[in-house]
Chains A and B, each alone.
Chain A
Amino acid sequence: MKDRYDHENLYWIPILILFVFLLPVFLKGVSFSYKYYLFVLNLAGIYIILNVGLDLLSGFTGLVSLGHAAFLAVGAYTSAIMVDQLGVPFSLSLILSPIIVGLFGFIIGFPALRISGMYLGLTTMGFGFIVKRIIISFREWTQGSAGLEVSSPILFGYTIKSDWDNYYLIYTFVIIAIIIGRRIANSKIGRSLMAIRDSEQAAEASGINLSQYKMLAFFISGIYAGLAGVLFAHTSSFISTDHFDILLSIYFIIMVLVGGASSIYGAVLGTLFIVLLDNLFVPLIEDQIQLLFNTQAGDIQSLIFGLIMFLFIIFQPMGLYGMWLKMRIYWKLFPFNPRQRFT
């Protein structure tokens, strides 16, 4: 009998990990501004961790969350307060904060037992606003809307300061997050979540405990977002509530959908695509557009994101990963392609 992962080709994964760890060295050799590229990649890494969790929640389970920036905010502020004001070591906060955010996700998941679809999207969006406001009002700990300075992470007596060190810290966790995400998606839990997405009634009839699995999805998603929040707070060394806007939550969903909902690799691809586009491509065309219109930088960015999102939903609902799958099948069957399947 075949084992669970036998049908997958896993040989290229160590090569990919090696590539991820050698990329900074390569970038340093190629470009003078490698520090900026590393900064962008770090941001992408943090978002990848969060989006893997979001994909498990929204892509696999079908519970739309429009408030994931709030999870990120809770994780970031929890860790910042624990490390800087309560004196908890960073390595312990790395374990504790995600669990706290997971429990917070539990609370948010509670309304999800009764409501679904766009009502849930609205509720999570509302939670996004509420969390932002509550963070501001706890002034003694969070310093309100002025923002909070966060210390650099210290792991095993070594202070992690530069973008270079941050890269290795973040991408270690990115790889772990992706592997665990794949395992969850291919396990009994992942299949139950997909069953819930496809039909709640059918899932319940086949013996899946709906409320338990929905809460579990929120808990897992919260843990991922909490981990991302901890890394975000300590590597960017300054956080304020402006970082966790409602637009960011929408961008997260855009990243997941552009990559292809309900596939972990899709979430990774989509995040990389959007973040690299935002930070490397948009500045290139920004100057030309600003000659034509008197605009702010954020407008061009959101225009491009909105357009990409819109075109993907209409023309390529499976996202980038779906495109890749189609291409793969196309080459496998190459001379004998049934034409209608690839339109």
Chain B
Amino acid sequence: MTDILSGISQEIISGIALGSIYALIALGFTMIYKATEVVNFAQGDLMMVGAYVNFFFVSTLLSNSGEPSTWTFLVALVCSIIFSVLFGFFLDFIINRPLKDQPIFSVIMATLSLAIIMRALVAMIAGPIALMPLSPFGDGSITFGTIVISILDLFIISSAIILVIIFYFIFHYTKWGIAMQATSEDPIAAQLMGIPIKKIYALVWIFSALVATLSGILLAPRIALLDTSMGFLGLKAFPAAVLGGFGSIPGAIVGGVILGVIETISLGTLSFHFEWIKEINDIIAWFVLIAVLMVKPDGLFGIEKVKKV
């Protein structure tokens, strides 16, 4: 009995770490959805691009200086952040501005095609061989009783918490954040109140590119091999966001963590006890998605929308 319990708690911890990544990706497109009503299917690929760019900076720095040190990773992080800010601005320019008044079908397809383009370009530039990213935290771990937590997981969880707090603060308590909320409520009224909504849209895209890059940097050492299929992980953040209620920041976090825990538990303990779970554990996120949409389409934290004629 005790080893089942400790096994489950071990899986819950690593599930929370995985779920934090999902939550960060979900946070990225929740922000875009809140402000511009655009659903960004390219978020996972933004994350992939971020991971690749960071890898590129780390390896260039290493080839210049030799030994990896804390400074190497810090400088690479800052460079990646600068890149992601520019990239987010660029995305706003090519996706959001031309497609402002188009139907949602076109916007979905535009972001999807952007995802395909990014994946193909990265694969062309980086070559078909999977890369091995260096972990800035080594492979150390901490032991609590029977539970082992790797430092990387601990770092992922804590930085996810810090990022979420920062974004929650920005969204609810700063001038720009409140302007973003007003824009998402009613862009025309916001414009009449003197809010520069073009700048707000650009800012939102920059923020979400930033979150995607950071989650990519955090995720890359965890999956050990870096290739372009990492973008598909971003698709799994959609069930997370839907579970929490699309367009709500706490919902994205809770949904992501729940989904991560469900996934790791079904991969581990449950699949030892039930044979049939082995068959479905890589698509369990989609079962969750369909179940949530059938039962409660607004998710756990969503606000029910009334459609006006």
Contact = CB atoms under 8 A, between A and B. Distances in A.
A42 interface: no
B117 A313 contact: no
A313 B109 contact: yes
Nearest to B281: A133
B287 interface: yes
A24 to B, nearest CB: 33
Interface stretch (A91-99, A121-129, A168-176, A180-188): A121-129
Interface stretch (B96-104, B191-199, B266-274): B96-104
Contacts of A117: 104
Given A122-B238, A300-B120, A303-B124, A201 B105 contact: no
B110 A202 contact: no
Interface stretch (A79-87, A290-298, A326-334): A290-298
Contact of B113 (A127, A137, A309, A317): A309
Contacts of B294: 111, 114
Nearest to A110: B294
B180 to A, nearest CB: 21
Given A115-B293, A303-B117, A58 B112 contact: no
Contacts of B120: 299-300, 302-303, 306
Contact of A130 (B110, B121, B235, B286): B286
B290 A123 contact: yes
B243 to A, nearest CB: 12
B123 interface: yes
A111 B296 CA distance: 11
- Chain B residues touching A, range: 35 or more
B64 interface: no
A218 B174 CA distance: 47
B104 A118 contact: yes
Interface in A293-329: 293-296, 299-300, 302-303, 305-307, 309-310, 313-314, 317
A137 B281 CA distance: 12
Interface string B161-182: 0000000000000000000000
Interface of B: 39, 98-99, 102, 104-106, 108-110, 112-117, 119-121, 123-125, 127-128, 235, 238-239, 242, 246, 279-280, 282-283, 285-287, 289-290, 293-294, 297, 307, 309
Given A122-B242, A257-B106, A314-B99, 10 more contacts: A115-B297, A119-B293, A261-B105, A293-B124, A295-B128, A299-B120, A313-B106, A313-B113, A314-B110, A317-B106
Interface of A: 58, 62, 64, 111, 114-115, 117-119, 121-123, 125-127, 129-130, 133, 136-137, 199, 201-202, 247, 250, 253-254, 257, 261, 289, 293-296, 299-300, 302-303, 305-307, 309-310, 313-314, 317
9 contacts: A118-B39, A121-B108, A127-B290, A250-B112, A257-B109, A302-B120, A306-B120, A313-B102, A317-B106
